[in-house]
Amino acid sequence: MRLSRFFLPILKENPKEAEIVSHRLMLRAGMVKQQSQGIYTWLPLGKRVLDKVNAIIREEQNRAGAIELLMPTLQSAELWQESGRYDAYGKEMLRIKDRQERPMLYGPTNEEMITDVFRSYVKSYKDLPLNLYHIQLKFRDEIRPRFGTMRSREFLMKDAYSFDLNREGAVHAYNRMFAAYLRTFTRMGLRAIPMRADTGPIGGDLSHEFIILADTGESEVFCHKDFLNFDIPGLDTNFDDAAGLKGIFDKWTSRYAATSEMHDAPAFEAIPESERLSARGIEVGHIFYFGTKYSEAMGAKVQGPDGKEHTVHMGSYGIGPTRLVPAIIEASHDENGIIWPKAVAPFEAIVINMKSGDAACDAACETIYAALSNAGIDVLYDDKDERAGAKFATADLIGAPVQIIAGPRGVAAGEVEIKDRKTGERETLTIEAAINRLTSGN
């Protein structure tokens, strides 16, 4: 992508409304634009990051055996009357009437709708286990939307829903998602700690929130420091191995971890003081096992191996992609801007032409840009006619992990500089060596 042809509306001033660093940087870097309170447009730079976050989520959901579909944002109130949540959900739910005066709603979550999909087609235990997910917009009329897309009213959610014959199967399904979540957040450069959680309007008795530690987080959390060093399930994780997954779950729940709603102060204080971690955190995922709460109310049954009808056991599993983007920024930035982990970077590298219009600089940059593009690297080429200082500031702000800087003096000697955005280290290489460095992935 050439910057001269991209749409990157960078802000020079610090936006007044932004209280936390991720919100400030997302606005300054032209990633999002607020349209009304808690409702955002994802501008092209932001959209690129969001797509990468979603791709990681998808890969790990698919690996764990979940299957993607897409349900609508608008739902009929009838479904929610069946489960009894239409009245219970309260003012957070946006209620709408269509032209025939039929009550509709903008889905805050999809337990009812997926249960309806399930009951329409699945009749036998032979079709279980089943886990269906989608990545779709939700709307919750939050009292206090804030911090940009961290807590918005319209937001993206990956929500998965599992169906099993009995509790045992459902616990296996829960542990599948538990392990998949640990892998998902790690791939984004984050360490998420699962904490016993309150189930709120979703219901059920088994639930974990996945929390990223961050000073600006909205939750107060308490946990054992051992969580910072636990191993993440590897690529060789067998998601069909119920005992193996239980081992992962047991390990990751073997130490104290709770948010303030579930906090047990005496249990926490029993941990030696040097091993306690009392911090703030961001909830990036939340998983629930709620048994037959929806299947019972909505008649989702299958024929079991005994020939009898069984009400299915369900769980639901949420991740907030539009919250993860600011969470990643909270964890990875400096005073000059964002520092993207490579896996979610909008561009893996930026080529900075310090003197656009200079024939030698232009030629060197074109060569590098073409070589990297052809190697399948997401590269941004700053070919704009601007001062070098402004270009450096933009590159640091938008946070591509690697900068390739070409100036007239270096290019005359056949050389460019490579700067590591995270460490700030610079190295001078020949143009060829620079291309090799990036295309070989080192």
Which of these segments, 23-31, 280-288, 355-363, 423-431, binds ligand 5CA (CB under 6 A)? 280-288
Residues within window 165-224 making contact with ligand 5CA, judged by CB under 6 A: 202
In 3D space, the residue among 309, 147, 282 whose CA is nearest the CA of residue 210 turns out to be 282
Residue 298 beta carbon to ligand 5CA: minimum distance, rounded to whole angstroms? 15
Q: Is 404 in the site for ligand 5CA (CB under 6 A)?
A: no
Cβ proximity to ligand 5CA, 73 vs 430, nearer residue: 73
Would you state the structure tokens that stand for residue 195, as one six-digit string? 């904490």
What DSSP designation does 248 have?
Answer: H
According to DSSP, the residues that pair with 159 across neighbouring strands are 134, 318
Would you state the structure tokens that stand for residue 92, as one six-digit string? 């957070």
x/- binding map, residues 78-97, to ligand 5CA, per CB under 6 A?
A: --------------------
Distance CA 297, CA 115 (A): 10
Q: Is 152 in the site for ligand 5CA (CB under 6 A)?
A: yes
x/- binding map, residues 303-322, to ligand 5CA, per CB under 6 A?
A: -------------xxxxx-x
Q: Is 421 in the site for ligand 5CA (CB under 6 A)?
A: no
For strands 192-196 and 130-139, give the pairing. unpaired
Tell the residue number behind the tokens 């191993």, with chain if given: 231
Question: What are the phi and psi torsion angles at 241 (to 5°)?
Answer: -90, 95
Residue 417 beta carbon to ligand 5CA: minimum distance, rounded to whole angstroms? 39
Q: Is 107 in the site for ligand 5CA (CB under 6 A)?
A: no
According to DSSP, the residues that pair with 366 across neighbouring strands are none
Residues within window 25-64 making contact with ligand 5CA, judged by CB under 6 A: none
199 exposed, middle or buried (CB, 10 Å; 0-12, 13-18, 19+)? middle
Among 286, 310, 333, 421, binds ligand 5CA (CB under 6 A): 286
Tell me if 391 sits within 8 A of 354, measured CB to CB: yes
Cα angle: 41, vertex 150, 281; to 5 degrees: 165
Among 159, 164, 330, 396, binds ligand 5CA (CB under 6 A): 159
**How many chain residues touch ligand 5CA (CB under 6 A)?**
22
Among 61, 75, 83, 109, binds ligand 5CA (CB under 6 A): 109
Tell me if 268 sits within 8 A of 288, measured CB to CB: no
Among 49, 113, 192, 284, binds ligand 5CA (CB under 6 A): 284
Residues within window 319-358 making contact with ligand 5CA, judged by CB under 6 A: 319-320, 322-323
Distance CA 347, CA 329 (A): 15
Tell the residue number behind the tokens 């109310």, with chain if given: 297
- Interacting residues toward ligand 5CA by CB under 6 A: 109, 111, 140, 142, 151-152, 155, 157, 159, 202, 283-286, 288, 316-320, 322-323
